[in-house]
Amino acid sequence: MKKAIKISLITIFILSIIMFIFIGSFIFYSLKTSNIKFSMDKIAENTLSIQVYNSNNILIKEENTVSDKKIKLSVLPNYIKEAFISIEDKDFYKHNGINVKRMIKAMISNLKSFKFKEGASTITQQLIKNTHLSSQKTLSRKINEINLSLTAEKQLTKEQILEYYLNIIYFGDNSYGIESASEHYFSKPAKELSLDEACMLAGMIKSPNYYSPINNPELCLKRRNLVLNELYKDNKISLQQYNENIKKHIVLNVNNDTSNKLNSYTDNAVMEASKLLKIPAKQIALNEYKIYTYQNPIKQQALANTLESYNLDSDCGLISINSKTGAVEAFIGKSNYRILEQKRQPGSAIKPILVYAPAINEDIISPATRILDEPINIDGYSPQNVGGKYNGYVSVRESLSKSLNVPTIKIASYVGIDKMANYLSKLDITLDKSDYNYAISLGGFTYGTSLKNLAGAYSSLANKGKFNKAQFVNYITDKNGKIIYRNNINPLQVFREDTAYLITDILKTSVKSGTSKKLSDLNIDIASKTGTVGTSKGNTDAYNISYTTEDIFGSWIGNMDNSPINTVGGGVPTEMAKKYFSTIYSEKMPDRFVKPSSIEEVDLDAIELEQNHKIVKANFYIPEKYRVKEIFSKFNLPKETSDSYLKVLPAKINGNVDENGNVNLWFDAQSFMKYDVYKFVNGQTNLIETIENKDGKISLKDKLKNKESAKYYIITSIQNFKLPNEKITEKGNEIELIAIYSENEKWFLN
């Protein structure tokens, strides 16, 4: 009993302290922040525009409005209003703008976690937050929110508050208000929403991107069902209604007219600014903030022209990113959905940054490393190359430039999934927990990544191993011109400079003879990688990521419903890359990739490489035709030197003499050797023939006179053999064959 009393007293004491802190903070911050006033104009404003500028500080002439299509609360079915109240604010009609009980509960939870994770906001508070304040979870903002909510409740009726709330709340995809959201997702006015559709929209507003029916349909469905359950518990719908609607799938009918601007440059810049400032786009417009971007008007037009050149039935996105800074200089898309918010499986386009660059950076492989391309099985995973063909031993250069799958998986197993994932996280691409398997090496992600993040990750290869996050916004000013945000470019060195150069050199091979060979006649120094994602029903995604020292170009073609497309990465996406680069470099050439001092070109023993799959340096004696050149990082040079050709082996000469004195000679030749065949007779030596560039058995003929004897021998030497700063000697091993012919006795002696 005493223990229970003690616990109760401690609890009361703690709650008293909490209330004291809360009341004290409330009074302090109320006085400190009393300059923020309640404004009906901010709540009732209908259509606002946001000014977005290009890299020349010129206003971009694209439609960029935040439109709240208004609807009267009285025309909406009652279940729509009840859905939002049940999931967001059950005591809406009881409180005076704030729910003290919920706030105390949230405060205790926040104190336990030492974070302001829970806000316990009422519908009134959400209305204020979305029209007057930022989304930052700070105590000062919360105090302002409470003050303004209490004021709003005094000046507005509950019905007015709910109507304004439903007309301004954000539903994702540039949809503000339930009317805009209904027209966007279902192509009909809000008054025609069914119960399950209304519950889907009510569930979304907690986190429009996370619960998006487009991005995360499964999460959206679970959230919708939660709303239905809350309605049933609150006796707002019957058991029959609950059972009927809980079984329904989410069926969208996205409106093309409302989606046109989702893939404009300015709209994506506004979306980014909203995330950076942590305020809705509407508040950016209300505050008259100005957004200054990196858009290059010439490159933007080039992308637009490229897209217009193809009459595509599929969704498509094109992006151009500055190689050195990560600045998004151009973007355009064609889709009913916001392309840069979509995560798609990247296919083979992920291989250079996920597998090959980490493997080279860890000194596990070099471009010359031989990998056996063969059927494999790793813990039940058996990848195949496209077409089911295996190539035996292939070089890393060939494997990546031709996008072979099996060697890629083997290299991934050498690096390890954890290490690859760590590199990828530095490039702003995150993996799901279920992605920790070798299928990711071929782009088989659970959720995938966006075109912007994928293309942006290639800045680590184009910019000497340094990564800059791809970004639209340069800086933002308030209405008085004061800068309130600036993008501070701070590159992260993810790979060594020589690693980036080696991967780039391999991807230049892809242009010359690999999957990107449609770019081969471009007169620029360019590297490229393609990617194709397919199922048993056909291809679903096709990519090309190409880059110079100045520009990274990314193209994606696919369908959000995963219906098949009729192209591959090396097809239309690569053709688009060619058209784009041909346009922007028509009058000037970009810089070439400069070889760093840590790169060394090495002559390798070609025979050892091909026959024994060993990387050994060629010694001085190996002929040119038996050497192959490859580049290496100085941190991972070949350690062995070949011992081939260190000895000049003599040719073994054979022969016979027939009854007429005809001499037949033969020996085995090797093509890299030179053979001088001499005849010594009557005290004189004569060169009768020189054999070069011949393999196999060599046959020669000569003639002896009666009672004449001759000595035949071969001097063997290496073709074009030059000793530095030394006099050349042609003297080799003499292998003698002595032939004697007598017309009477007819005999031959060897």
Q: Which two tokens stand for residue 513?
A: 């003879």
Task: Give the list of residues 6+ apart from residue 201 with CB closer than 8 angstroms, or none.
Answer: 83, 171, 178, 181, 182, 185, 193
Give residue for tokens 């292998």: 735
CA pair distance 723, 727, nearest whole angstrom: 7
Kindly report, residue by residue over 396-453, the tens digit of the pLDDT.
Answer: 999 999 999 999 999 999 999 999 999 999 999 999 989 999 999 999 999 899 999 9
Q: Are the CB atoms for 550 and 576 separated by under 8 Å?
A: no
Residues 698-724 have a mean pLDDT of: 77
The most confident of 122-126, 545-549, 664-668, by mean pLDDT: 545-549
Kindly report, residue by residue over 574-606, the tens digit of the pLDDT.
Answer: 999 999 999 999 888 888 999 999 999 999 999
DSSP-derived 3-state class of residue 462: helix
pTM listed for this prediction:
0.76
What whole-number percentage of the chain has pLDDT above 70? 85
pLDDT for the residue numbered 111 = 54
Kindly report, residue by residue over 233-271, the tens digit of the pLDDT.
Answer: 999 999 999 999 999 999 999 886 655 578 999 999 999
CA atoms within 13 A on the CB side of 106: 17
pLDDT for the residue numbered 490 = 92
pLDDT for the residue numbered 732 = 38
- Where do the domains of the chain lie, and which CATH numbers do they carry? 33-286 (1.10.3810.10), 297-584 (3.40.710.10), 604-636 (no CATH), 654-741 (2.60.40)
Residues 720-735 have a mean pLDDT of: 39
pLDDT for the residue numbered 257 = 64
Longest dimension (CA), the chain: 141
What is the DSSP secondary structure assignment for residue 394, as one 8-state letter?
E
pLDDT for the residue numbered 729 = 33
Q: How far is CA 662 from the centre of its chain?
A: 75
Residue 549 phi, psi dihedral angles, 5° rounding: -70, -15
Q: Which amino acid is at 706?
A: N
Cα dihedral 700/704/708/711 (nearest 10) = -10
Q: How would residue 730 be classed by pLDDT, with cut points 50, 70 and 90?
A: very low
Q: How would residue 100 be classed by pLDDT, with cut points 50, 70 and 90?
A: confident
Q: Residue 747: is its pLDDT beyond 50?
A: no
CA pair distance 672, 656, nearest whole angstrom: 27
Q: Residue 112: is its pLDDT beyond 60?
A: no
Of 49-58, 436-445, 731-740, the one with minimum mean pLDDT is 731-740
Helices (H), 89-138: 100-113, 123-132
Rounded CA Rg of the chain: 38
Task: Give the list of residues 6+ apart from residue 724 with CB closer than 8 angstroms, or none.
Answer: none
Q: Residue 63: is its pLDDT beyond 70?
A: no
Complete DSSP assignment for 630-678: EEEEGGG----B--TTSS-PPP--EEEE-TTSEEEEEEEE-TTEEEEEE
Q: Which two tokens stand for residue 198?
A: 């209304």
Kindly report, residue by residue over 131-165, the tens digit of the pLDDT.
Answer: 887 666 667 777 888 888 898 889 999 999 999 99
What is the DSSP secondary structure assignment for residue 294, as one 8-state letter?
-
Q: Residue 726: is its pLDDT beyond 60?
A: no
Q: How many residues does the chain have?
A: 750
Q: How would residue 68 be classed by pLDDT, with cut points 50, 70 and 90?
A: low
pLDDT for the residue numbered 69 = 77
Q: How many CB atoms lie within 10 A of CB 238?
A: 11
CA pair distance 168, 277, nearest whole angstrom: 19
Q: Which two tokens stand for residue 636?
A: 């991972």
Of 124-128, 227-231, 550-554, 637-641, the one with minimum mean pLDDT is 124-128
